[in-house]
Amino acid sequence: MSDEDATIGQALADVATISLLHERTARENATVNEQLQRALNSRVFIEQAKGVIAERNGINMGQAFQRLREHARSRQEPMHTSAAGVISSRVMI
């Protein structure tokens, strides 16, 4: 193999390596973005449910959060699941 062929081969290997690293980074970023979006959506449900609970019971938001958390824990379910039930009026807290 000539020096020129070796240089071209190394350049192609470098480009392939950079492409693989870029693809991995993009995939990891997409995963993080999906996780953050799920967390944000969950938080929105929880905040809406707190408002519903507070309004229904004439209590403050802290007390509403406490009731929502206790409800979720007593049923061993994620808070956003309990919150969705409150918002849809399937769950009365």
State the pLDDT confidence band at 60, using cuts at 50, 70 and 90. very high
Across the range 52-71, mean pLDDT stands at 97
pLDDT of 5-47, one tens digit each? 889 999 999 999 999 999 999 999 999 999 999 999 999 999 9
Percentage of the chain surpassing pLDDT 70? 100
State the pLDDT confidence band at 1, using cuts at 50, 70 and 90. confident
Residue at 69: amino acid letter: R
Residue 90 is classified by DSSP as S
Q: How far is CA 51 from CA 21, 75, 83, 88, in A?
A: 45, 21, 10, 13
> 72: how many CB neighbours lie within 10 A of its CB?
21
Across the range 78-86, mean pLDDT stands at 95
